[in-house]
Amino acid sequence: MNSNDGPLKLRSRLARIGRCVRCSLRYAMPVGIHLRNSIDVRDLIKNTMLDFDFAITMPMNLLDRLRKRVGRTQFYRAFWQVVADFPDCHVAAMMYLYRAFDKTKTTAQQMYLFGDSLEFMMEGFIEVAQDYDNTKAIEYLQRFLVRAFPLDGPHLSEAQLLELVEHCIFFVLHSDGPLVTSFYTWILNSTDHSDLSFFYDRSCELILTAMNRFLNVNTLKGAIHPEYRYVDIADVKIYTEILLCRVLIQMQKRTELGRVLFVKMFPRLIDKADEFHRGPRDFSGRRTSPQYRRMYEFEQYCGNLTDQLEPDFFWEYVLGCFELIADNQTDNISNFARLINGCFFGARCFDNDSEVCGIKVIQAIMSFLSCREMLTKCYRDDIITIAGVAQKIVLNLIERMPTNDEERGILIDLREQCIAALSMACELYVPKRSQNYVAGLNHTTQLLSNFLSVPIGPNLEGIESERVSSWIFNVLRVISVHEWLVQFADGNHGDALTRASLLQFLSHAYVKANEFERTSLLTRADRAHLDRIDVFATGVEAAWIGLEQQQSFMYHTQVTRLIREAHSRNSAESSSEIENMIIERLLSGNNANTAKTFKKLYEVIRSDNGKPFNTIPLILFNI
């Protein structure tokens, strides 16, 4: 055959031989220069790797001879194409590459290993790293990276190193000891795993950046875990935040490394938790829905992650963030709100005797809610979030019930902080009656309501005091019953719901004070002052006008509670000024409207165990 048709005939013969690689190479080697131009080197490399059991014997000599015939550049270009396109060749390729790298030489002296482009090599590396079930291949890949590409090496760009780290961090999920050891050797840049200086100076930032990039991806198609090896990849969805939690759990085995990464990534996990908390929760009644499964799995893995930490970690972390805000080192209160809310998403905050730190945090939050400067910086949603978390902590502490004087003293101090927070919310609200501060009023009132029925110990100073508590005056400025009457008379409903809510709170506190005088929120002087200014009768009269004017359902519900509580303040008396006010309206000219309004009210409260209305039903029978 001449030089023109020889390569064509040789290709035809090799095609007929098929996958008999020994024969292919026996014919191919003597051809010399023609092989470079005509034979598909990629197929030869692929078939060589596929047709031998590399776990037993490695036909290095055949690949070496082929490399010498076609040249290093041509050979390694085809080599990386095989790695990228044929997963079955990954083990053989990585073993050959690891063996071909001469550790007595520098990486710069062996750049031919990567063909004519680092991009080909990177594509191959990523394919091997994603071949999660192929432990042997990724073990040799990791060994090669330790040798050839340390994280402070000059041969790969920052973006390429970051891409490698982003895929290699999941190697810690393997149970294969040598692989995990190689990974830690790579990020520590030393076989001495006790030296962490390189990790702090270089690797930590790379890993954190890689984790953040990974978390920006919502889901993965395909499985990065052996348990999915027999599942159709198209049917599998891996949620990135769950996978990252698993990585962080595994890295807690190296506490000195895992703790640093967790503390840095914790705010991002909190953001994810906050997304679930604030997002729609329509599960269509099905626990098998994807959204429910995602939230449930994330909660479980967050819980498993917290089990690896000290019981008080979350509390101390939240407290540290609050101190930064309090010291004006940061004004990002929205992040703080998300943080403390996210701590209660999947975090077992009270499972490990962490009440002491919980008390510190609630005290810090209450200081926050009673600080004018901080509240003026807050958005409405932030106040709702922070107060909502405070509510959870307070309820948990109260449910445990104090057993000694020290615990009772803590709850008494906490109650005083709640009073201060309510007083500050009133001060901020009164000047402009802005809706921005209504949330603060409602939530601090709710916080304080938790203490009304709790016998936490005698408040002797309050009982003996003859002075009206200062916070009472602030609450009364918000209610402003006479202004409320004028507004309704003019047809201006204004902030009637806010006024009614606060007056109902005072009524409830009054009732509880009669039941638990020695632990009451209202002192004798407070109650005497409220009776003297006739706030309940006047306030209920204003609220009643709103009922007759067909206010919202929420308003009706709130006023119903108000009338019931105000009527029941003095249980020893058969009637009350509230009942007298309603009777007076029934006997006036507009008795039909009053009767209709009372009927709606009576349908709600007649089943209660509170003080009954005795006279009004008798009058209604005669109208």
Average pLDDT, the chain: 78
d(CA 494, CA 52): 85
pLDDT band at 23 (very low <50, low <70, confident <90, very high): very low
**At residue 201, does pLDDT exceed 80?**
yes
Percent of the chain with pLDDT over 70: 75
Residue 238 is classified by DSSP as E
Nearest C-alpha neighbor of 143 from the set 123, 125, 157: 125
* Residue of 542 and 616 predicted with greater confidence: 542
Residue that has been written with the tokens 């004018």 in this structure: 372
**At residue 10, does pLDDT exceed 70?**
no
State the SS3 of 89-117. Answer: HHHHHHHHHHHHCCCCCCCHHHHHHHCCC
| pLDDT number for residue 234 | 42
| pLDDT number for residue 346 | 47
Work out the average pLDDT over 522-538.
90
DSSP 440-485: HHHHHHHHHHTTTT------HHHHH--SPPHHHHHHHHHH-HHHHH
**At residue 230, does pLDDT exceed 50?**
no
- Beta-bridge partner residues of 219: 239
**At residue 506, does pLDDT exceed 90?**
yes
Exposure on the CB side of residue 291, measured as CA atoms within 13 A: 11
Nearest C-alpha neighbor of 539 from the set 509, 583, 498, 574: 498
**At residue 6, does pLDDT exceed 80?**
no
**At residue 38, does pLDDT exceed 60?**
no
* Residue of 35 and 608 predicted with greater confidence: 608
| pLDDT number for residue 607 | 63
**At residue 231, does pLDDT exceed 50?**
no
* Radius of gyration over every alpha carbon of the chain, rounded to an integer in angstroms: 37
**At residue 222, does pLDDT exceed 50?**
no
Residue 239: helix, strand or coil by DSSP?
strand
Nearest C-alpha neighbor of 392 from the set 428, 348, 452: 348
For 230-251, b/e burial (b = at least 16 CB within 10 A) is eeeeeebebbbbbbbbbbbbbb
Residue 219: helix, strand or coil by DSSP?
strand
* Residue of 37 and 559 predicted with greater confidence: 559
Per-residue pLDDT tens over the stretch 232-276: 334 446 788 888 888 999 998 898 999 899 888 887 877 776 676
- The torsion of the CA quartet 553, 555, 561, 565, rounded to 10 degrees, works out to -160
Residue that has been written with the tokens 């109260």 in this structure: 398
**At residue 602, does pLDDT exceed 60?**
yes
Work out the average pLDDT over 407-416.
83
Work out the average pLDDT over 188-209.
91
* Residue of 140 and 397 predicted with greater confidence: 140
d(CA 361, CA 175): 39
Give how far Cα 12 sits from Cα of 17, 39, 62, 324, 336, Å.
Answer: 9, 10, 21, 75, 71
* Residue of 52 and 504 predicted with greater confidence: 504
Residue 618 main-chain phi, psi, to 5 deg: -65, -40
Number of H helices, E strands in the chain: 33, 2
Residue 244: helix, strand or coil by DSSP?
helix
* Residue of 622 and 5 predicted with greater confidence: 622
* Residue of 111 and 328 predicted with greater confidence: 111
* Residue of 402 and 166 predicted with greater confidence: 166
Residue that has been written with the tokens 């090669």 in this structure: 144
Residue 174: helix, strand or coil by DSSP?
coil
Residues 338, 271 contacting (CB under 8 angstroms): yes
Residues 53, 90 contacting (CB under 8 angstroms): no
DSSP 38-84: HS-HHHHHHHHHHTS-TTT---HHHHHHHHHHH-HHHHHHHHHHHHH
53: exposed, middle or buried (Cβ count in 10 Å: 0-12, 13-18, 19+): exposed
**At residue 578, does pLDDT exceed 90?**
no
Per-residue pLDDT tens over the stretch 425-458: 999 999 989 888 898 899 999 999 988 877 765 5
First-to-last alpha carbon distance for the chain, in angstroms, is: 125
| pLDDT number for residue 165 | 92
| pLDDT number for residue 15 | 43
**At residue 178, does pLDDT exceed 80?**
yes
* Residue of 452 and 333 predicted with greater confidence: 452
- Neighbouring residues of 437: CB distance < 8 A, sequence distance ≥ 6: 375, 425, 428, 429
d(CA 473, CA 467): 12
**At residue 3, does pLDDT exceed 70?**
no
Indicate the domain borders of the chain.
1-148, 151-286, 310-457, 478-623
Range of weakest confidence among 99-108, 275-284, 323-332, 528-537: 275-284
| pLDDT number for residue 532 | 93
Nearest C-alpha neighbor of 425 from the set 500, 502, 508, 369: 369
| pLDDT number for residue 224 | 47
**At residue 207, does pLDDT exceed 90?**
yes
| pLDDT number for residue 288 | 59
Helix axes 577-586, 553-567, angle to 10 degrees: 120
Q: State the pTM of this model.
A: 0.65
**At residue 107, does pLDDT exceed 60?**
yes
d(CA 110, CA 104): 11
Give how far Cα 595 sits from Cα of 276, 312, 574, 599, Å.
Answer: 48, 58, 21, 6
Which secondary structure element, helix H or strand E, spans residue 237, and what is its range? strand 237-239
* Residue of 412 and 589 predicted with greater confidence: 412
* Token pair listed for 284: 């269509």
| pLDDT number for residue 445 | 93
